[in-house]
Structure 1
């Protein structure tokens, strides 16, 4: 098998892994009201359940940082994804509080390993290609989110139980994900030898700190949509249960569209300009949601949120991997991605109870202004995304030499 074919297959299989995770996560978060009803979880207790998932995922991401020093990220991803799918099925299968607690705990641990290893492979593939393709992987995640949210809407519309709603997705996606995992491509690019090539050296965390803050703020915004959009539309804007599943779907549609063209934008204008533009649009989206007089205006706000937030997270992973690789070597890239991924969960951990607490104590409209302000913090750290080589393109490909592989013009197709 030629390197060209191997990389094409690796890119397709990794894109499918992102897709599967998008379906899985959407099926979970868009049925939160149904999960509450099935297990009798009160509004006061719900934030604790939602917070437990990112805490455990963060623990698993730390463990993955050390695990990939012994086994390839592809091995971690190959087995983490089936565990995530089985944990989702477990959420729908129980009837008592401890059942859902156990299932959500398993979901959190497995999803932490999955997210870290999946983005490690994406960053290393982008480096091998020598041009921006990371947004394309996250576009696959968005496409999966659209399908998952649509399936959740159908389950709510036909009053299907959670287990019945989740079972077809698990039966279909689990074996196909395992089959595709045979084609994952781990990083093979040579890097510096010695201890510096095995992880982040002195000053590594300082190098990543601005990007960690951006990641946390971006996921505070994202978690607000995924954890609270359904309840916000239903409880604040007076929509039906079926319509309440739509905002997340709309959000995922707009993230798909934004990410589908995002790699082209990065190559043309650079990551700094793209991230700044996305930040401003996202802040405007939160303002519209907070002021919305009805459900349809609220969905306009979620549309703007999808367009704005969609570029920030993939570019943050890409920037962290690139900076760590250039300074400390390829082993540092995986370490940087794993550590940055922790702030994904920090954002979820802060965002979910923060919005819920402010909503209960004051108002959910006012609560929507908090992630708006936090997302705007990204404007102060946009320069951390770098210039020049951060766009990849011709100059980077020249530096990459034999490691840059051009596989055609379908830059965003995965």
Structure 2
């Protein structure tokens, strides 16, 4: 990272506008995934066909992220984000408004392809802005995403409670979101827009970090999303069927998880500035692992709830710091232009984890036990400790006065730690 300076008005506007973009995407994505049962009912999707639809979205998102890796070598990430985010919003509306299963499949395919580019370009701009600020701000962007997710899930609950048609639920949200994202896109800040040495070098045409060197961070990203998808897909069933909670109480863990994720990310940047990224990632990993252990051993629903609180507080720091670490390493190895395509490459493993997590826990739960199945994501998340130094030197600090950009080689693996 460059030495921090007092951010100018352009950087501040860029930070606020990008946070709003993260917020909007969190709300839109939550509105899609929390209303899957209603989408299934509206279009008569069979239980056998539903997993195909659900798997197609992250697969296509991965394709979109790969395409973005090559696209940002020619155009700025801000341009990609300005184009794809309105399309994602309109695709959500189409999912609720079209008249046939085939049309819904097309809408979901468009959503998947464009959301891959959206996730990648948002995180590119976030890493670039963090480098301009010279201090940790990446967790704040993901906190905005979590807040948007809470708002979207709350709107979805209201839609389900009042039995609103999907088009009635999605329509007003999209009517607000599309103008919002079109307006805020005017203030996005790319790396080459900031001036100074990095701005002079530009960002187009960069070479991404080779996959073999990026692999440790890719594994961390995938394992973190396996943990996250375990909570989102199995927390309600686990509380009701294993811990014997009521139907009403079983809906609480995911909301608790989302709220604690928001809280952890809101204060997480302060922790990174004070203690450095390595310490924060290690603490988050241990807290998340303890959370899975508590969930697996819980004698009842309320103890299980404590475990989900710990999971939210622990997992929330890993993904933002993984993007930040990849961006720092790419800049050190290949220069500023390498950061954006490297982040797009890393972003693919977001969807890998999402695809693996739910069937992994479900299959182990059916074949063995759901308590035992909760220990598998715990072990996978603990792998982060092996690669913790890939997130930067433990002596690095994100402070208001200086920061030493000392990032360990992410390709060392366990033998180099």
Report the CA distance shift for 1:297/1:287 in structure 2 as closer, same or farther (over 3 A).
same
Q: Deviations over 1:130-161 (max 9, x none)?
A: 11110111111111111111112222222223
- Which stretches in structure 2 are left out of the alignment for 5+ residues? 1-5, 406-417
Query: 2:338 matched to which residue of 1?
Result: 332
d(CA) in 1 for partners of 2:288 and 2:297? 15
- Whole-Å separation in 1 of the counterparts to 2:242 and 2:266: 32
Residue of 257, 277, 280 corresponding to 2:263:
257
CA gap 1:227/1:167 in 2 versus in 1, 3 angstroms = farther
Return the alpha-carbon distance in structure 2 between the equivalents of residues 256 and 350 of structure 1: 24
Does the 8 Å contact 1:289/1:368 carry over to 2? yes
Displacement after TM superposition at 1:36 (Å): 3.3
Structure 2 match to 1:132: 136
Q: Give distance in 2, aligned partners of 1:244 and 1:149.
A: 15
TM-score (norm 2): 0.86
How has the CA–CA distance of structure 1 residues 365 and 164 changed in structure 2, closer, same or farther, with 3 Å as cutoff?
A: farther
Match for residue 56 of structure 1? 60
Gaps of 5+ in 1: 400-414
**Hey, what's the Cα distance between the residues in 1 that align with 2:204 and 2:351?**
27
Cα deviation code 1:326-353 (max 9, x no counterpart): 1111110111111110111111121132
In the alignment, is residue 315 of structure 1 matched against residue 321 of structure 2? yes
Alpha-carbon distance in 2 for matches of 1:224, 1:26: 16
In 2, distance between residues paired with 1:163 and 1:242? 26
Aligned-pair distance for 1:268? 1.1
- Residue of structure 1 in register with 2:177 after alignment: 173
CA separation of 1:221/1:95 partners in 2, compared to 1, >3 Å: closer, same or farther?
Answer: farther
Distance 2:43 2:324 in 1: 39
Q: Which residues of 2 match residues 263-302 of structure 1 at below 5 A?
A: 263-292=269-298, 295-302=301-308
- 1:152 paired with 2:156, answer yes
> Is contact 2:277-2:394 (8 Å) kept?
no
Q: Tell me: CA distance 1:231–1:385, structure 2 relative to 1, closer, same or farther (3 Å).
A: same
1:100-111 pair list within 5 angstroms? 100-111=104-115
The partner residue of 1:142 within 141, 146, 163 is 146
CA distance in 1, matches of 2:388, 2:394: 14
Q: Is the 8 A contact 2:140 2:269 kept in 1?
A: yes
With 144-153 and 350-359 compared, the bigger mean Cα shift is at 350-359
Q: How does 1:172-211 map to 2 (within 5 A)?
A: 172-188=176-192, 190-191=197-198, 198-200=205-207, 204-211=210-217
Hey, what does 1:67 align to over in structure 2? 71
Shift of 1:355: 2.5
Distance in 1 separating the partners of 2:10 and 2:395:
25
For residue 389 of structure 1, report the CA deviation from its aligned partner.
Answer: 7.5
State whether residues 26 and 145 of structure 1, in contact with CA within 8 Å, keep that contact through their aligned partners in structure 2. Answer: yes
Q: Aligned residues, how many?
A: 398
For 1:194 and 1:334, how far apart are their aligned partners in 2?
14
Residue 96 of structure 1, CA deviation: 4.4
Map 1:306-385 to 2 at 5 A: 306-385=312-391
Check whether the contact 2:191–2:203 (CA below 8 A) recurs between aligned residues.
Answer: no
- String of CA shifts for 1:174-223, please: whole Å, max 9, x gaps: 1111111110000025349999984336x733332111110110011112
Deviations 1:241-268 (A, max 9, x none): 7655543322221111101111111111
**2-structure distance, mates of 1:331, 1:344:** 22
CA distance in 2, matches of 1:109, 1:245: 30
